[in-house]
Chains A and B, each alone.
Chain A
Amino acid sequence: MLLALLPMLASATNAADISGLNAEQEARYRTLTNQLRCLVCQNQNIADSDAPLAADLRNQVKRQLLAGESNQQITDYLTERYGDFVLYKPPFKAITLLLWFGPVLLVLLALGMAYAFARRSRSTAKTVAVDEDKLRKLLEENK
C-alpha cells in the first residue's frame, strides 16, 4: 500500500519543479536531470533524489534553461564545480581511456586465452592419435 503511494509522491515533487518551462525546455530538463548524478546519494540522479543538494541542482538546471543556456553550457557549469563525477556518462579523455577501453581489452584477453587453450588441446589430441601402422604391426605380432 505504502509502496504503491511512493511513485505518486515522487511525481508530485517533480511536477512542482517544471512550472514555467515550455515543452522543449521541459524535455531537456528531464534529459539533463536524468543524466546528472546527485553527489550526496551517489547512486541516484538528481531527478530522483530527495536530497536538498539535488533540489538545488534541479533549480539551477531550470534557471539556466530559462536563461536560454544550451545543454552543453549547463553540464559545463556543473562539471566546473563538481567535476566529471556529476556526469553519469564519463567524458572521453586521456584519464578515462581505461574506463572506455577496459571492457574491450578484457574481451580481447579472454578471446586470446580461449584461442591458446583451443590450440593446446588440438596439439595434445595429435600426440594421442594412434599410429595405425604400428598398431597393425603390434596386432600381427601377437597373433
Chain B
Amino acid sequence: MRYLIPVVVLAALVVLFAFGLQHDPREVPSPLIGKPAPAFNLKLLDDGTSYSNADLKGRPVLVNFFASWCEGCQVEHPVLLKLAREFNVEIIGMDYKDKPEDVTNWLARHGSPYRKVVMDEEGTAGLDWGVYGVPETFVLDAAGTIVYKQIGPMTEQAWREKIAPLMAGAKP
C-alpha cells in the first residue's frame, strides 16, 4: 500500500505533462468566440469603397487576417487557395498593417483566394478582433457570430476537422 503512493503520484504527473505537452502556449483562447464580429468600417483594396462588419452577415465566411510581409501567410496560402477553389469557401482577407501596392504585388505573385480584400492599414480592426500575430482566421456563421478562431497558418487538417463542420453551407 505505501509503495502505491509514489506510483500514483508519478502517474498523475505523467497525465499532467502529457496534457501540457499537447497544449501550445502560443494559442491564447479568444474571448470573442460566441460573440458577434467586432465592428469595423474600412476600405476595400480594389475600389476603395467601404466594407463593414455588417457585410459579413447572411452566409458563413472565413475572415483571414494576413499581410504581404507575413511568412506564415505564405505557408497557409496554398491551403486558402484550395479552400476557395475546390470547396467554394468565401474568404474575406483583412490586410493587416500593409500597403495597398505591396499586397497587390503579393496577390499577383501568389494568386488570390479572397472574395474581398479589406485594408486594415493601421491595424485598428486587428486590435478590435484581438489579433496578436498574423495569420489568424475567424470562422463566422450566417448571423455574423464568431464560432471558431484558427491561430497561425490554416491547415487542411484544421479545415477538415474543425472548420468544415462549422461551415456546412460551403461544401460543393
Task: Spell out A's residues near B (CB within 8 Å).
Answer: 39-40, 42, 52-53, 56, 60, 79-85
Q: Main secondary structure on chain A at its contact with chain B?
A: helix
- Measured between beta carbons, the chain B residues less than 8 angstroms from A79 are 31
Name A83's contact: one of B26, B30, B123 (CB within 8 Å): B30
Q: Is B28 an interface residue (CB 8 A)?
A: yes
Interface size class of B (residues with CB under 8 A): 10 to 19
Question: Once the chains bind, are B28 and A81 in contact (CB under 8 Å)?
Answer: no
A82–B31 CA distance with the chains assembled, in angstroms:
6
Task: For residue B5, give the distance in angstroms from its CB to the closest CB of chain A.
Answer: 10
A60–B122 CA distance with the chains assembled, in angstroms:
12
- Measured between beta carbons, the chain A residues less than 8 angstroms from B28 are 39, 82-83, 85
With A40-B132, A40-B133, A82-B132 already in contact, the answer to whether A56 and B127 are too (CB < 8 A) is yes
Question: Once the chains bind, are A42 and B130 in contact (CB under 8 Å)?
Answer: no
Question: Once the chains bind, are A81 and B25 in contact (CB under 8 Å)?
Answer: no
Question: Once the chains bind, are B127 and A81 in contact (CB under 8 Å)?
Answer: yes
A84–B38 CA distance with the chains assembled, in angstroms:
18
* Closest 7 pairs (CB-CB, A-B): A39-B132, A81-B130, A83-B31, A85-B28, A82-B130, A53-B132, A40-B133
Known: A56-B123, A81-B128, A82-B130. 15 other contacts (CB 8 A): A39-B133, A40-B132, A42-B25, A42-B26, A56-B127, A60-B127, A81-B31, A81-B38, A81-B127, A81-B129, A81-B130, A82-B28, A83-B30, A83-B31, A84-B31
Which residue on chain A has the smallest CB distance to residue B28? A85
Question: Once the chains bind, are B133 and A83 in contact (CB under 8 Å)?
Answer: no
A39–B152 CA distance with the chains assembled, in angstroms:
13
Q: Is B169 an interface residue (CB 8 A)?
A: no
A84–B130 CA distance with the chains assembled, in angstroms:
12
